[in-house]
Amino acid sequence: MAGYVSDAVIRRLPGYYRHLRELEAAGVVQISSQELGKRMQLTPSQIRQDINCFGGFGRQGYGYQVSNLKEHIGEILGLTQQHKVIIVGLGNIGSAVAMYPTFSREGFVTVAAFDVDANKIGQRLGSIPVFDMSELENFLDDSKVDIAVLAVPAAVAQSTLDRLYKGGVRAVWNFAPTDMAHPDDMIVVNVHLSDSLQILSYKMAHRDDA
Amino acid sequence: MAGYVSDAVIRRLPGYYRHLRELEAAGVVQISSQELGKRMQLTPSQIRQDINCFGGFGRQGYGYQVSNLKEHIGEILGLTQQHKVIIVGLGNIGSAVAMYPTFSREGFVTVAAFDVDANKIGQRLGSIPVFDMSELENFLDDSKVDIAVLAVPAAVAQSTLDRLYKGGVRAVWNFAPTDMAHPDDMIVVNVHLSDSLQILSYKMAHRDDA
C-alpha cells in the first residue's frame, strides 16, 4: 500500500472487508462501485476514491473482483498474519470475546486467559486454559503475545495495562470502561460499550430535531 | 441545547460524560479546559468549542463545574430518561450485555430476553426473564419497548430486525456482525466487534509506517 491513508479511510476498511466477505459468500464475483456504494451507504465516487487510496485496484467500467479485493483489504488489515491473543479478565465480556467465533477465522488465536476467580483458574473456557492473574508475568516471559484483550474492572485497568506493557505486550484491545495512559509504542484500541449505547440514546432523544 | 451539533461532537459526548463521571467520583469539583483537554487528549480550545456547542457552559478563567457539566451532558445524551430494553439473542454477547452493570445505572432497564434455546427459555438471567423467540410479537403487543439489543447470528439478523420494527421497536443496538436495511424512522447503532479488532490489527501491521 502506497502513501498516506487517512483515519477516515482506515475506519472504513473493516466495513469493506465485511461486505466483500458477505458478497463472496453469496457467490458474487464482481461488483461495481455503484452497487458496492449502495450496499455500504457511500457514494460510488467515495468507493472509487477509497479503493484507489489503498492500492489502485479495479478498472472503471469493469467493477471490482470481489475475492481479489477482499484478499487485498485483508492483507492491508494484517489479517493474513496470525496473532497470538490472551484474554485478561474473564467476566461476562471477557468470556464472550474469548468465545467469539469469527476471530479465530481471521487469524486471532487465543492462547490463554487470566482471572482472579479461584473457580475459573485451572479450568478451560472452550479450549483456552485459564491461569491465575498472578501468573501473568511468568506467562509473558515464556510466550510472545501479540494482543491482550483487557476486560478487567475499570479500577484495575491501568495497573493491569502497565503489567502487560512491562511483560512486552504492545497491543491492547480494551473493554474496561475507562481511558488509560500508555506509552507511545503501545497501541490501545478501546471498545467503550456504554459510549455506543449513549449515542443511541442521544439519537432517540433528538429524533425530532432534524 | 441550541442549534446544530456535528456528528464529531456527538461522538465525543460519551467521552465527556465518562471523564466527568470519573472526576466527580474522584472528588474533583472544578476543572479547567486545559486539565480536561489533557485528560481527554483534546486541545483546550477544542474542549471550549465543544462545550460551547452544547450549551455555553463555563466561564473562561474559572473552569467548569464537574457535577453540573456531567448532569448537563447526561441530559443531552438522554440518560435522565428511563429506557425499557429487551435483549434478543442470548448467546455469549447478548448475555454479557444483559449482565453489564453500568447500563442500569444510566437508566437502561432490561425487562426481558428472547432466545430459541429450550435450555434458556423459561429461566432467568439474573432478574431478567427469558422468553421463546416465538413470543416476541406477543410481548411487543403488550409492552412498550424503547430499545432492542440485537445479538442474534448474522444470518437471521435482518429478519429479526424486521420483526422488531413491525412490533413497534424504533431503536436497535446491534451486535450481529452485519449491516442491515431499516426504515428511516428506526435508529440502528451497530457495534461491530470485529471492526475494532481489525483496526487494532491494521495499526499493528502499519506501526512503522508513521
| A65-80 per-position pLDDT tens digit | 999 999 999 999 999 9
Distance from CA of B138 to the nearest CA of A (A): 24
A25: nearest CA partner in chain B:
B155
Q: Is B23 helix (H, G, I), strand (E, B) or coil?
A: helix
The HSE-up count of residue A94 (CA atoms within 13 Å, CB side) is 25
Tell me if A41 sits within 8 A of A34, measured CB to CB.
no
Residue A124 cell numbers, joined: 478451560
Condensed to tens digits (0 to 9), the pLDDT of residues A190-209 reads: 999 999 999 999 999 998 76
Instruction: Write the CA distances from A167 to A76, A157, A163, B19, integer angstroms.
Output: 28, 15, 6, 28
Q: Mean pLDDT for chain B?
A: 91
Counted across chains A and B, CB pairs separated by less than 8 A come out at 170
- Interface with B, mutate which of A9, A13, A77, A85 (most B CBs under 10 A): A77
Cβ distance B197 to A103 less than 8 Å, yes or no, reads yes
Q: What is the mean pLDDT of residues A43-69?
A: 82
Q: Residue A77 is nearest to which of B15, B108, B198, comparing CB atoms? A: B198
- What's the complex ipTM? 0.92
Distance from CA of B112 to the nearest CA of A (A): 18
Q: What is the pLDDT of residue A148?
A: 98
Cβ distance A199 to B15 less than 8 Å, yes or no, reads no
Q: What is the mean pLDDT of residues A144-156?
A: 96
Q: What is the pLDDT of residue B57?
A: 64
Q: What is the pLDDT of residue A106?
A: 86
Which residues make Cβ contacts (< 8 Å) with residue B113, sequence separation at least 6? Answer: B86, B87, B88, B90, B94, B98, B125, B128, B129, B130, B131
Q: Is B208 helix (H, G, I), strand (E, B) or coil?
A: coil
More confident: B182 or A104 = B182
Condensed to tens digits (0 to 9), the pLDDT of residues B120-136 reads: 999 999 999 999 999 99
Q: Percent of chain A scored above 70 by pLDDT?
A: 94
Condensed to tens digits (0 to 9), the pLDDT of residues A84-133 reads: 999 999 999 999 999 887 788 889 999 999 999 999 999 999 999 999 99
Q: Is A168 helix (H, G, I), strand (E, B) or coil?
A: coil
Judged against a pLDDT cut of 70, whether residue B87 lies above it is answered with: yes
Q: What is the pLDDT of residue A2?
A: 46
In angstroms, rounded to a whole number, what is the distance separating the alpha carbons of residues A168 and B6?
40
Judged against a pLDDT cut of 70, whether residue B110 lies above it is answered with: yes
Cβ distance B195 to A93 less than 8 Å, yes or no, reads no
Cβ distance B193 to A79 less than 8 Å, yes or no, reads no
Residue B163 cell numbers, joined: 420483526
Alpha carbon A25 to its chain's center: 21
Distance from CA of B210 to the nearest CA of A (A): 9
- Please tell me the pTM assigned to this model: 0.89
Instruction: Write the CA distances from A51 to A1, A32, A60, A64, B104, integer angstroms.
Output: 11, 12, 11, 10, 42
Distance from CA of A184 to the nearest CA of B (A): 11
Q: Percent of chain B scored above 70 by pLDDT?
A: 94
Single out the residue of A3, A108, A97, A18 nearest to residue A52, CA to CA: A3
Residue A141 cell numbers, joined: 516471559
